[in-house]
Structure 1
Amino acid sequence: MADVLVVDDHPAIRMAVGILLQQDGHNVCGEVDNGVDAIHQFRCLQPQVVVLDIGIPKLDGIEVVKRIKCIDATAQVIVLSAQDSRHVMVRAYQAGADGFVSKLEDLGLLKEAIRTCLGGRLFFPTEVIAHGKYSADVNSREVLNTLSDREMSVFVALCQGRANKEIAGDMLLSEKTISTYKARVMQKLQVSNMVELLELAKRYMVI
C-alpha cells in the first residue's frame, strides 16, 4: 500500500478521499488545501502518491503536477477534479499526471486509479493519451503557433464575443467559412466549447 498526500480546497472532499483510501489500506500521510503547501508537503513527506484537484488556490494544480514530477518523476500523481472535459484531461496528461478521476463519477474509481498507476500504467481514457501524445502541448503557449494567421484572427474575434456573421462581414468571407475556421481552431487547441476556448485565451493573454 502507499503513502498518499491529498490536495483539495474542500474539507469534505479531503475527508471522503481519506476514508476511501484508508479502507483500501493506504496511509494518508498529509492533507493540504492549496498548491504552495502541496509542493512543501510533498518535499517533506515524500509520498508515493499525490491525489490533487486542479482548481486549488495559490498555485494552479497543473503547475503543481509539473513541479512534483520535477522533484520526483517516480511519484504517482492522480488528478481528482470536477473539471472533466477532454481538454482538461489532456492538460493533466501533458503536465505529467499519471491518472485522472472525475469527481462527478463514483469516487471508488480512485482506488482503481491508484492500483493502476502503482502498477506502472496510466489511468486515462485511451483517446486522451492519444491526443496528448501526438498533439501540441496545450499547457504551452506554443500551441497557438499551430494556428494559421486567419485561424488566429477568428480565434481572437470569437474570444472578443463577436458572432460568426459579424466576423464573416469583417473578413469578407461567408458564415460557413468562419464556422469551418472555428471548428479548426477548436480542434487544434483541443477545446470542445467556448468556455474552454475563453479560458485558454485568458491563460495566454490573447484577450
Structure 2
Amino acid sequence: MKSVLIVDDHPVIRAALKLVLEREGFKRIHEAASVGEALTILRQHPVDVLILDLVMPDGSGLDLLERIRSSAWKCVVLVFTSLDPLFFQERCMRGGALAYVSKTNSLDQLHKALHALMAGYTYFAQLVSSPMNPLQHSEKKMIDSLSNREMNILQHLARGLSNKAIAKAMNLSHKTVSTYKTRLIIKLGVVAAVHLRDFAIRNHLI
C-alpha cells in the first residue's frame, strides 16, 4: 500500500497527515479538499488507501463511501473525523470503511490504524457502553433510523444552511430538500425545523 488519497477540507490537517504518511513509507500522496476533487483523483489514479473526513463542503464522506463501495475502486478507507463514533462508526462500517479514528485522539491512533490496514486488519474504536437516560436512548434510536442522506441534510440544516444552499451542495432540488426537512421533523419528533439544530448539537452530530 504505497498510494494514498487524503480527503479533508482543512489544509493544516492534510499537511499533518502527509507527514505521518511519509514516515509510514507512502510514496504517492494525493490530496482533495472536497468530494468532487476526490472523485476526480480516484478516476485518474489508482489509490491503495483513502483517508476520509466525513464533513466536506460539497457533500458527505458517507456519500463518498457509498460511491466507492459501488465502484470498481479497490482502495481501503480509513475514516479520520471529529464526529462522534457512537453515531457514525457503525454507518462507516456498513459503508465499507475498514478503520475509524477520531481527530480528538493522538496521532498515535492513526499510526496504529494504518499499521492494522497494511497488515490486512480493521481498526475501530471500542465504544464504551455507558448508561443512557431514557431521552438519550430514545434519541439514539431515532438517529440510528436515519438514512445517510437524511443525516447529511440534518447536519447541513444544523449548521444553518438554507434549503437553497443545501440543494446546491448536494445537487438536489429545493423541493426534495424541503421534503427531507419535513421527514426529519417527523422522524426526530421535534416541533419545528428550528429545533433540529438543538437536536444535532445535543447529540454531537456536528
Which interval holds the TM-score relative to the shorter structure?
0.5 to 0.7
Aligned to 2:148: 139
The structure-2 alpha-carbon separation of the partners of 1:195 and 1:45, relative to structure 1 and needing over 3 Å to count, comes to: same
- Equivalent in 178, 190, 195 of residue 158 of structure 1: 190
SS of 2:83 mapped into structure 1: coil
Which residues of 2 match residues 55-134 of structure 1 at below 5 A?
55-72=55-72, 74-126=74-126
Which stretch of the first structure deviates more once superposed, 85-94 or 65-74? 65-74
TM-score, with length taken from structure 1: 0.63
The structure-2 alpha-carbon separation of the partners of 1:23 and 1:160, relative to structure 1 and needing over 3 Å to count, comes to: same
The structure-2 alpha-carbon separation of the partners of 1:159 and 1:91, relative to structure 1 and needing over 3 Å to count, comes to: farther
Structure 1 unaligned regions, length at least 5: 129-134, 142-151, 164-192, 201-207
Shift of residue 196 of structure 1? 6.9
SS of 1:108 mapped into structure 2: helix
Distance in 2 of aligned mates of 1:43 and 1:73: 9
Conservation of the 8 A alpha-carbon contact between 2:65 and 2:97: yes
Conservation of the 8 A alpha-carbon contact between 1:3 and 1:47: yes
The structure-2 alpha-carbon separation of the partners of 1:195 and 1:46, relative to structure 1 and needing over 3 Å to count, comes to: same
Larger radius of gyration: 1
Structure 2 unaligned regions, length at least 5: 129-143, 151-183
Aligned to 1:53: 53
SS of 1:158 mapped into structure 2: coil
Aligned to 1:148: none
**Cα deviation per residue 1:13-41 (whole Å; 9 max; x = unaligned)?**
00000001101111243101000110110
Corresponding pairs, count:
155
TM-score, with length taken from structure 2: 0.63
The structure-2 alpha-carbon separation of the partners of 1:161 and 1:30, relative to structure 1 and needing over 3 Å to count, comes to: closer
Superposed CA RMSD? 3.3
Distance in 2 of aligned mates of 1:101 and 1:32: 19
Distance in 2 of aligned mates of 1:116 and 1:103: 18
